[in-house]
Structure 1
């Protein structure tokens, strides 16, 4: 699932303006969406009324949530920082003001929200910070890119750069790792987390091609017959994919994040194969494994079996619906036994049984902070 790109404009002209804006950025990142870019800080005259000058900035956030959800979170954050909205018309001084300027290149017209913001093209204090974000964004109504909007704007306000602001993601130094593997049982959310991290941190993904495996549906119908060809085909495909992708350096990406580590082949094989088949399989695996690069960080997303079954049901792949709880229990035990046996692997176990890092931004931030602790 690709994330939405949301542009917010933040302003303050009361009290400690810098502190209010920094608090707003931190709260947006923790509660609304992942703040991946922040503009410079500008001092700008009040617009449409006489008052003290504003501090303004713009930020880009990634989210899977709706525009209405982001608006509700933004209003919560404004209230927490101390903004009290008056019932009267017109502009007024404010301790904090957070506006949803754009949501991808969508047009949204509701009683609560208009996107793109109807006045953005007339406000230099919105356009100049947006330019700092270096976005390939086109106004969906006016059909103009940001440089064209700036050139056409009639607002001649003097907007002065007064400092730099740091995006919260700058504190998470994942580029210290060249290769991160995210692992977990069936339905743990490893592919979702891999894609999310890749989008937020400009990483190259290596995603398991399970959907292309012709033996997988057959295996779930008749495990004893198709277990060995399934595990052999997975092993061959994983070896080829990781070898190819890790060998191809991408100048435009900062690191690689994969939704599997090839050792999972042995974990699943031990559960699915007979004793004789497993002995043969292990010999072949060990030959291949010696040649494979090891991840700089191995993240295991642990989920209890009840939650795994609920996730599997929710994602609705027909061939997975009859997976028994006992099978998932054995896979979990296999992973944990493997992790205990690894003395030279940088391992991070995160229990996500009671977390939802897609719907709950705080859970995603928690995971990033746990990963950050392993960079030291």
Structure 2
């Protein structure tokens, strides 16, 4: 296997799993990507008598040097309320982050010791390591994690929990998430992935029900008002029906405010002013998202995606129109009161890289605290 960078995470104070979720999210604020996560295990406190710990391990990818990565881990501990006392011995921790391995490097300095000198003695470290790096060979002991686990003498009781660290609790703070962005950015694909993984309702825009859309892309000036008016009224009526039938957690592949984005770009001034009055009246009756995620992607990839999906009514879309919409979104979104998270999908394909999808979820979760 590739030589990994591996950390351990532990917590035994307060919302233990919450602190671990937060630690993972905060680590990725830096130039670090979490590539793989273990299960979460509960074990008695080690070396002192206190509340049981939740423990896990993670494989990281980063260009940071070991000491720079260590400083990030210490900073995350501080942000999450880790207290350090002058007394020697083991203590309770909101979160405990240890750098276990950095590839095959062996470092023995005042500030950092890699591999972690006691990891082979601790069942609560070896067990999650088995999940993610069973064949990795300890660079000092020259035994694999599997071999170390077979020979370790720590008989501490360890219980696997049902927590999934790949799915942070994003809907706890944001029960209604809307995904927005330019044509071809991947709103529907992403919303469906979230819906499937979290088992929440998927609220989809019925864009293909607009009878004026194909004519609009052929002759925008002639068909703009009919196209945008249909979208406005159709989205409004569908919204009423949807929320009469659903009241749980929801992810949508659009947000009602997009009516204004497209109308601003496509309508004449007088038509837009009339449209805006109708929009404002309807907006007061629309269910507001807990969070809007605004996706961005470079125009080359947008054009490729539009061409790839080959919708007949999109074949006339020009690059200039995509650029107008992108500018329009940025002008409009800053005027709304609901939270907005902007996220770049440049050179990212969630279907090919699962860890990128999980990183995206942690960015959403990070917006909640």
The TM-score bracket by the shorter chain reads 0.5 to 0.7
Checking the alignment, whether the CA contact within 8 Å between 1:231 and 1:269 is kept in structure 2 is yes
**Distance change in 2, residues 1:365/1:162 (3 Å):** closer
Checking the alignment, whether the CA contact within 8 Å between 1:175 and 1:255 is kept in structure 2 is no
SS in 2 for 1:225: helix
SS in 1 for 2:346: coil
Indicate whether 1:299 and 2:293 are aligned. Answer: yes
Match of residue 135, structure 2, among 75, 83, 90 = 83
Checking the alignment, whether the CA contact within 8 Å between 2:134 and 2:144 is kept in structure 1 is no
Match of residue 248, structure 1, among 240, 245, 250 = 245
Indicate whether 1:225 and 2:219 are aligned. Answer: no
- Alignment-derived partner of residue 338 in structure 2: 345
- Alignment-derived partner of residue 130 in structure 1: none
Checking the alignment, whether the CA contact within 8 Å between 2:170 and 2:361 is kept in structure 1 is no
**Distance change in 2, residues 1:368/1:331 (3 Å):** same
Which consecutive residues of structure 1, in runs of 5 or more, have no partner in the other structure?
Answer: 1-18, 20-25, 42-76, 85-92, 98-159
- Alignment-derived partner of residue 310 in structure 1: 304
Give the CA deviation at 1:173.
3.3
Give the CA deviation at 1:40.
9.3
Question: In structure 2, what is the Cα distance between the partners aligned to 1:350 and 1:39?
Answer: 28
- TM-score normalised by the chain length of structure 2: 0.58
SS in 2 for 1:205: strand
SS in 1 for 2:289: coil
- Alignment-derived partner of residue 254 in structure 2: 260
Question: In structure 1, what is the Cα distance between the partners aligned to 2:159 and 2:226?
Answer: 64
Question: In structure 1, what is the Cα distance between the partners aligned to 2:40 and 2:358?
Answer: 21
Give the CA deviation at 1:39.
11
Match of residue 351, structure 2, among 335, 354, 358 = 358
Question: In structure 2, what is the Cα distance between the partners aligned to 1:211 and 1:217?
Answer: 10
Indicate whether 1:278 and 2:278 are aligned. Answer: no
**Distance change in 2, residues 1:79/1:40 (3 Å):** closer
SS in 1 for 2:334: helix
Give the CA deviation at 1:240.
1.2
- Alignment-derived partner of residue 185 in structure 1: 182
Checking the alignment, whether the CA contact within 8 Å between 1:184 and 1:300 is kept in structure 2 is yes
Question: In structure 2, what is the Cα distance between the partners aligned to 1:294 and 1:357?
Answer: 27
Give the CA deviation at 1:182.
0.5
Checking the alignment, whether the CA contact within 8 Å between 1:174 and 1:375 is kept in structure 2 is no
Give the CA deviation at 1:338.
1.2
Q: Aligned pair count?
A: 240
Indicate whether 1:201 and 2:198 are aligned. Answer: yes
- Alignment-derived partner of residue 105 in structure 1: none
Give 4+ residue runs of structure 1 displaced > 6 Å after superposition: 38-41, 77-80
**Distance change in 2, residues 1:166/1:80 (3 Å):** closer
Give the CA deviation at 1:178.
2.1
Q: Deviations over 1:252-292 (max 9, x none)?
A: xx501111111100110111111221111111111111221
SS in 2 for 1:349: strand
Match of residue 175, structure 1, among 151, 164, 172 = 172
Checking the alignment, whether the CA contact within 8 Å between 2:293 and 2:341 is kept in structure 1 is yes
Give the CA deviation at 1:333.
0.6
- TM-score normalised by the chain length of structure 1: 0.57
Question: Which moved further from structure 2: 199-208 or 237-246?
Answer: 237-246
SS in 1 for 2:285: coil
1:314-329 alignment, distance < 5 Å: 314-329=308-323
Give the CA deviation at 1:358.
2.3
SS in 2 for 1:280: helix
Q: Deviations over 1:53-82 (max 9, x none)?
A: xxxxxxxxxxxxxxxxxxxxxxxx999825
